[in-house]
Amino acid sequence: MGSSSDDAADAAGAADSQEATLVDLRAAYDAAGIKEGLDQLDRELIGLRPVKARIREIAALLVINRARTQVGLDTAPPSLHMSFTGRPGTGKTTVAERMSKILHGLGYVRKGHVVTATRDDLVGQYIGHTAPKTREMLKKAMGGVLFIDEAYYLYRPENERDYGAEAIEILLQVMENNRNDLVVIFAGYKERMDIFYQSNPGLSSRVANHIDFPDYSASELLAIAQLILAAENYRFSPEAGAAFAEYIQRRMQLPFFANARSIRNAIDRARMRQANRLFSGMGRALTKTDLMTIEADDIIASRVFHGEVEGLDPAQPLTGAG
């Protein structure tokens, strides 16, 4: 048996070895693809500074947590289940996709994919139907992120025969037991999500990261429009740019406005009007500039300039229209 002095020396040597261990945070950061993921967020999403700041904070926590583990510091795995609140078209799904890649790069999930689900994917219509539906979606999402859109529809207390509560119970079990291999993100309008969490305290306690996605400003929406156009090799003429800025101001005042989603819908319709305009004048040859340019007439023909919402789907009023 070794002496107590030998044991003390061994312990001191182990401590010195741990103290001497160097952790290269930059290497861990780069290897996980975090910078690439955050840079991609900056390219893809205009504005959203509070959201991007919170994602950077979560990424920093994960890098430090991993570094602590490497040097032998016992560290409880962080709770990564999240709540994304905000109106449609504010970038929630895009951020979920980037977040999943970051989690995969750091080894917190095996695959890094995102599975999107709604109430219809999780809740059955009769006894015995909900559990297999919910477990099937969880199985598809395992190793990545399950993104539940409009999550408050899972809970319908006014209907005593509703099976949403059963889906929530299964989600709670899996969120707790498989927290090292699955991240669940609940998303929806903030006011409704607040009520949803108040009605489900067990669920609220398991969601540690709450991120609110603000609406875009008019100037940010115009910048988003320019990005969409550039990605499709289109551009506004100067007059069309001014007309679209006015379009944005008017559209923001109308019902069912869905931020970037409404802007993309508006540009799709402007492209169709441009195509019809060019097609009707096909007696003349067209230049590359003709094919690229959206003109003011392609914008002001919108019903929005008459106080009406284009593209409204009465069956799905909350998804927004152009």
- Measure the CA–CA gap between 84 and 105, rounded to whole angstroms: 21
Judge whether residue 260 has pLDDT over 90: yes
Within the chain, all domains assigned CATH 3.40.50.300 are found at: 20-212
Number of Cβ atoms within 10 Å of the Cβ of 15: 10
Q: What is the pTM of this model?
A: 0.82
Number of Cβ atoms within 10 Å of the Cβ of 254: 16
Local confidence band at 320 (pLDDT 50, 70, 90 cut-offs): very low
Fold topology of 218-319: Helicase, Ruva Protein; domain 3 (1.10.8)
**CATH of the domain spanning 20-212, picked from 3.40.50.300, 3.90.230.10, 3.40.50.150, 3.30.70.1170:** 3.40.50.300
Among 83-92, 250-259, 276-285, the range scoring the smallest mean pLDDT is 276-285
- Rg (Cα) of the chain, in Å, rounded? 25
- Please report the pLDDT score of residue 317 as a whole number: 41
Identify each DSSP E strand in 127-234 by its residue range: 145-148, 183-188, 209-212
Owner of token pair 């999403």: 45
Local confidence band at 20 (pLDDT 50, 70, 90 cut-offs): low
- Please report the pLDDT score of residue 144 as a whole number: 95
pLDDT tens, position by position, 152-206:
999 887 776 788 989 999 999 999 999 888 999 999 999 999 999 998 888 888 8
Which two tokens mark 12? 């001191």
Helix (H) or strand (E) holding 92: helix 92-105
Please report the DSSP string for 293-309 in residue order.
EEPHHHHHTSGGGGT--
Within the chain, all domains assigned CATH 1.10.8.60 are found at: 218-319
- Measure the CA–CA gap between 247 and 56, rounded to whole angstroms: 34
Local confidence band at 228 (pLDDT 50, 70, 90 cut-offs): very high
- Please report the pLDDT score of residue 155 as a whole number: 85
